[in-house]
Structure 1
Amino acid sequence: MLNILQRNIGVKIISLLFAIIFWLFVLNEGTPDKIIPEPQTYTIPLVSSGLDPNMVVMTQLPVVRVRLQGINPSASINNIYAQIDLSGGVPGESTYIIKVNTPPGTNVVDFQPANVKLTLDKVLEKTIPVEAVVTGSPANDYQVGSLIVKPSAVNVRGPSTILNNLGKVTVEISVSGVNDTVQISRPVSFRDKEGKPIFGPNPVVDILSAYPSSVDVIVPVIAKGLSTKMIPLKVTSTGTPASGKELRSLVPAPASITVQGTLQALKGFDFLNIGPVDISGLAEDKNIQIALDKITLPSGVSFLNETSLSVSVQIGDGPIQKSISGVAVQVRNVGADLEVNKAIPPMDVVIEGLPDVVNKVTPDQIQLWVDASGHAAGSYANSKVFWQLPPGITIPTTLQVDYSLKSRVVKGVE
């Protein structure tokens, strides 16, 4: 018996190895998502391609039922899908042919639908004011003042048909039970002209978008009997910047604030000066915080809680001077019977301005001239020189030249 088992043992081992390899091959190829039984029906997604970025599909894409047959060892059901080409799409309703994408070796027996009607629309943009909607009631003896929304308008983008039916952009804020000013950032929402929410073909996907998508809202909650008022801010400065520097701008932030007080106290209170700010020795831009207790308000007027003030100081290079050599000087408005006796030689001119402007000036950009209107033949000393300069350039000194006129000699006349 042992001899029988040991006979041709090499051949038997090789046969066993081949059997194991074949079994592993069949096992691997039998994975459900790699084999497509024949025939069998599947539901696959419909996707679009080639759509112009300024167009949008207004119809929800259907699913496609497809019957397949054949076996492709490398195929996966997850990679089979239906497709429509929208590269030539135009606004309005059109019919588009559906194509089913399958791996090689997999045959499509049938699929439904073979085409689909879709409505396309142009994407437009529109700037819409934001309307703040307050819900609830504040605590007893408190009331809501004038609301502040920043920014006060947003840029809305979406299909033209939806955008044309857009009634308003809103943001909701609750003041239920509060006794202090509410300051919050909230996303905006869209309402049609009947006040109803706006939804697209797929309620899960937003059909309209806003930039910015959220706004900051300040809801003053004040004691009853008081009022609120929006006051613009002004600012002044004291001191001088560092040597070679100059003050470019002073910008208060925010540009305006809301204050509270009695109607009588607020009457005639039309602006608030939060300066002066000290810019002594500043060599670069700086943001300066303003302490509220350093600002004097009219009697009976106060800041809302969480009011914050600052001033943005912009410092730039101061003006410099530069000498420009060889600038020509013209004599203009010479009488018809006169001529210049001798051309005025080019002169050196000192110009002044900011470095980035001054350093680019060339002699041909400067026009200098004297005005000979009404002058007879003769010499004119210390005549005023007029000029025309590039924007941002000045001449800090008075220019004068000497020149003379003589009678024009007519040829042929003794």
Structure 2
Amino acid sequence: MKEMLQRNLGYKTISLVLAILFWLWVTSQGSSQTLDRDPTFPLALIAKNTPANSMIMTKLPSVKVKTEGYNPSVNVNELFAYVDLSGSEPGEHDYEVKVDPIPNIKIVEISPRVVTLQLDTVEERMLPVTVEVSGAPVNGKKVGETIVKPSVVNVRGPSSLLGEVDKVLVELSAAGASETLQVSRPLLFRDKNGLAIFGPDPSVETITSSPTSVDIIVPIVAKELESKMVPLNATTTGTPAEGKEVRSIQVIPSGVQVYGEPEALAQFSALSIGSVNINGLSETKTYEISSDKVSLPEGLNYGSRTTFSVIVEMGSAVQDKTLYDLPIVLRNLPEDLVLEKPLPEVSVTIRAYPEILNNLTKEQISLWIDATGKAVGEHTVKIYWQLPAGIEMVSIPDVTYTLKAKEDPPKEPDNPGTPGNPGNPGNSNNSGNQPVV
């Protein structure tokens, strides 16, 4: 064993020394760049404390920094210059370029020392998605009505660029397609000239959307078939929870594209996708129904498999409420007639959802009768009413009233006077007022 270790000992020693030297050389070739004595080097410029809902619309320049001193432990790749945007408002502003202190290093010069940046407010818009299909399917086929989900997206970006967005676009090729295409594609933003919209730095995404992509269904159908958009409807079965009722039923999408012979399509006007069970249901619920479970009339078919959503909105059931002692107003009373006695107050029963009834006051209900064309005597008539939105009149009584002729006001007593003095009362004791004969 000892002999084996001592064999070629010189070669082994040289090999070991070379290996150590090679290892030292490799470790000294790291990717970090140390800070040499008195260098001038470029630094990336970043922005700190950008205000919420704001965006920099100026491309950040590179900054050159000159230093004095030496610190071999500092990696230049880990250094950066920055500007502080705290409290900035939209518009153009000048900012001082700063570099954090570096141990044992003095920063002699920063160039540029001040940069001018344009800030813009970030806004949002809801925009429809447009699908542009290029290329032709195989012979005998054509592109049907394209479906995009979602059809509307929320677009977000700086106001100066968001206003230029004329179209949210998805591009798809149907060249050579023989069957329906179902794909997901990213959204593109185009101006009114159809050109892409970029910020000051094309490498930075300035306009975004939620979601960032959409699902597209492009039906590929036989050319001899035609298509038709038919509305969808759904019904319910079962009894909801006590005190609850169905407020509304909404089907999404509201319509579906159906394909078939022209004669079959002409006789098909709407599609019922079936009933959903609401037995015991107490709150709004969404039901999903696959098109596979919804049959079409013979000769018709869907362009592609899809899913229908049925949203059943639940709420408290309507309630009846009786209001007492409501006043009635008499309208259009002839000028020569008056009421024999005041109109009575009445009680009515109304119907509405609890949240409406709870906030209702008597002053919101108007009741009146119309005396147009009425004569002296007793009349039994129906009461007219006006109710706030969402309230139904359940019961209201008739009212009986009596009209009489309006009495003339009492006349002043006659003043006959005396002979020879018709303007004075006839009083024999008032001889001092008699004219001299």
Assess if the C-alpha contact under 8 Å between 1:254 and 1:309 holds in 2.
yes
Equivalent position SS for 1:218:
strand
Aligned to 2:81: 81
Aligned with residue 387 of structure 1, among 360, 368, 385: 385
Task: Report the Cα distance in structure 2 between the residues aligned to 1:162 and 1:391, rounded to whole angstroms.
Answer: 43
Task: Report the Cα distance in structure 1 between the residues aligned to 2:294 and 2:120, rounded to whole angstroms.
Answer: 57
Aligned to 2:212: 213
Task: Report the Cα distance in structure 2 between the residues aligned to 1:196 and 1:402, rounded to whole angstroms.
Answer: 76
Assess if the C-alpha contact under 8 Å between 2:38 and 2:70 holds in 1.
no
Q: Counterpart of 1:61 in structure 2: which amino acid? A: L
RMSD: 4.3
Q: State the 1:49 CA deviation.
A: 4.9
Task: Report the Cα distance in structure 2 between the residues aligned to 1:333 and 1:167, rounded to whole angstroms.
Answer: 58
Q: Which consecutive unaligned segments of at least 5 residues does structure 2 have?
A: 1-31, 414-437
Distance 1:231 1:95, change over 3 A: same
Task: Report the Cα distance in structure 2 between the residues aligned to 1:220 and 1:178, rounded to whole angstroms.
Answer: 10
Seq. identity, %: 32
Equivalent position SS for 2:189:
strand
Q: State the 1:188 CA deviation.
A: 0.7
Assess if the C-alpha contact under 8 Å between 2:217 and 2:304 holds in 1.
no
Aligned to 1:3: none
Q: Count residues with an aligned counterpart.
A: 374
Task: Report the Cα distance in structure 2 between the residues aligned to 1:45 and 1:276, rounded to whole angstroms.
Answer: 63
Task: Report the Cα distance in structure 1 between the residues aligned to 2:350 and 2:397, rounded to whole angstroms.
Answer: 12
Q: Counterpart of 2:205 in structure 1: which amino acid? A: D
Task: Report the Cα distance in structure 2 between the residues aligned to 1:280 and 1:90, rounded to whole angstroms.
Answer: 53
Task: Report the Cα distance in structure 2 between the residues aligned to 1:265 and 1:238, rounded to whole angstroms.
Answer: 31
Q: Counterpart of 2:253 in structure 1: which amino acid? A: P
Instruction: Compute the TM-score of the two structures, normalised by the length of structure 1.
Output: 0.70
Distance 1:126 1:260, change over 3 A: same
**Higher deviation after alignment, 320-329 or 36-45:** 36-45
Aligned to 1:170: 169
Assess if the C-alpha contact under 8 Å between 1:235 and 1:277 holds in 2.
no
Aligned to 1:15: none
Distance 1:95 1:259, change over 3 A: same
Aligned to 2:266: 268
Task: Report the Cα distance in structure 2 between the residues aligned to 1:409 and 1:244, rounded to whole angstroms.
Answer: 60
Assess if the C-alpha contact under 8 Å between 1:130 and 1:168 holds in 2.
yes
Equivalent position SS for 1:185:
strand
Q: How does 1:14-413 map to 2 (within 5 A)?
A: 39=38, 41=40, 43-49=42-48, 53=52, 55-68=54-67, 81-83=81-83, 85=85, 91=91, 96-102=95-101, 107-120=106-119, 123=122, 128-134=127-133, 142-159=141-158, 162-163=161-162, 166=165, 168-173=167-172, 179-191=178-190, 197-222=196-221, 224-227=222-225, 229-235=227-233, 237=235, 241-242=239-240, 246-262=245-261, 264-265=262-263, 268=266, 271-274=269-272, 277=275, 283-284=281-282, 285=284, 287=287, 289=289, 292=292, 295-297=295-297, 299-380=298-379, 382-406=380-404, 407-408=406-407, 410=409
Task: Report the Cα distance in structure 2 between the residues aligned to 1:379 and 1:194, rounded to whole angstroms.
Answer: 78
Distance 1:321 1:101, change over 3 A: same
Assess if the C-alpha contact under 8 Å between 1:48 and 1:86 holds in 2.
no
Q: State the 1:83 CA deviation.
A: 1.8
Distance 1:374 1:169, change over 3 A: closer
Task: Report the Cα distance in structure 2 between the residues aligned to 1:41 and 1:316, rounded to whole angstroms.
Answer: 72
Equivalent position SS for 1:357:
helix
Q: State the 1:220 CA deviation.
A: 1.1
Q: Counterpart of 1:273 in structure 2: which amino acid? A: L
